[in-house]
Amino acid sequence: GGSSGSSSREDSVSAAAAVVQVQQRRHQQGKVTVKYDRKELRKRLVLEEWIVEQLGQLYGCEEEEMPEVEIDIDDLLDAANEEERALKLQETLVDCYKPTEEFIKELLTRIRGMRKLSPPQKKSI
């Protein structure tokens, strides 16, 4: 023979080390926490689940098969008015072949009165 399995052992060690690094990095990011109102968070969670469900119906597919559709609620809340929000949504759903008017109307109704959850961006001077 003459083939020793030392090289493969080294590979697995370095892979494990890489995993540890990633976990440490993720842990550092996790320290940055912002205290949110639990009620707002719950509302947001319910809304996002509803959105995923609705998109599944609109696109007629399971969540895994869904096209890249990103609806940013904070971005919508940033918009000046309902019309602007509706436009943003229409642009997002431009490749949906089913009518989206009802979904958009309902979503706008649901986010009315919601607060943004993302911390205010620090403006660089």
CA distance 36 to 26: 21
Q: Which helix (DSSP H) or strand (DSSP E) does residue 83 occupy?
A: helix 82-92
Residue 7 pLDDT greater than 90, yes or no:
no
State residue 99's pLDDT score.
93
Residue carrying structure tokens 């918009």: 79
Nearest to 108 by CA among 37, 51, 36: 51
pLDDT band (50, 70, 90) for residue 100: very high
pLDDT tens-digit map of 56-91: 899 887 666 777 788 999 999 999 999 999 999 999
pTM, rounded to two decimals: 0.62
pLDDT tens-digit map of 39-52: 888 999 999 999 99
State residue 78's pLDDT score.
92
